[in-house]
Amino acid sequence: GDPKVPVLYKVERTRTGKSFSVRSVKAIQHGKPIFTCQVSFQLSQGSPVQHQFTMPAVPPPEELLTQEELIQKFLQNPNLAERYRKHLNKIQAEDVPIDIKPVNPPDICSLEPQEPKQLFWVRARGYIGETDMKVHCCVAAYISDYAFLGTALLPHRQYHIKFMVSLDHSMWFHAPFRADHWMLYECESPWAGGCRGLVQGRLWRRDGVLAVTCAQEGVLRVEQTPNQSKL
């Protein structure tokens, strides 16, 4: 999309039921669709059928470094190649409105393959407050896309990324949460192939409640010639 051009949203009332309603949304710029979305709404209902996975046991966010602090730590390495130093400086210069604390950050100076799983503590920067839950859902949608698809590339760190973009992104909201409070983002990639990768994610509240489940498929194109060492 073009941030300088207004977006026209066309909403279709796909279904309106007693408990569930569905709306189809098409975002249009320059007369062409740039985004399509299907949204399902439900009236709040109780049920004895209830369970969830168990939240991973990890250190609290107060004991971990932020992404910015980790990058600064890597930049202090005098043996870091200049091209990677420039790349890290570029990342650090980005104005990302999310606080991120990786639980097990990958070693940027190593190209060893890793298991396609990662954990982050995440929250929106600033104060949102006790507002409409839909606002927190919109912010969580933004947060959930950050570094999500990159999980599928962790076993293939020897390759240089040419192109990486989302094809589709699905979210299920299970329980109320605050997007400006720390949540644990658990990401994993069960499959990659054919220039595509599949990733799944869970956003946990600090009290262990599973708040959101996410899934995304994206395009992954890499250079066939492996990268050289970053040192």
As annotated, the active-site residues are 145, 166, 216
Residue pair 230/84 in contact by the 8 Å Cβ criterion: yes
Which residue stretches of 18-81 are H helix?
67-75
Q: How far apart are CA 7 and CA 33, in angstroms?
A: 10
- How do 8-16 and 20-29 pair as beta strands? antiparallel
Q: How far apart are CA 186 and CA 203, in angstroms?
A: 6
- Crossing angle for the helix pair 82-93 and 67-75, nearest 10 degrees? 150
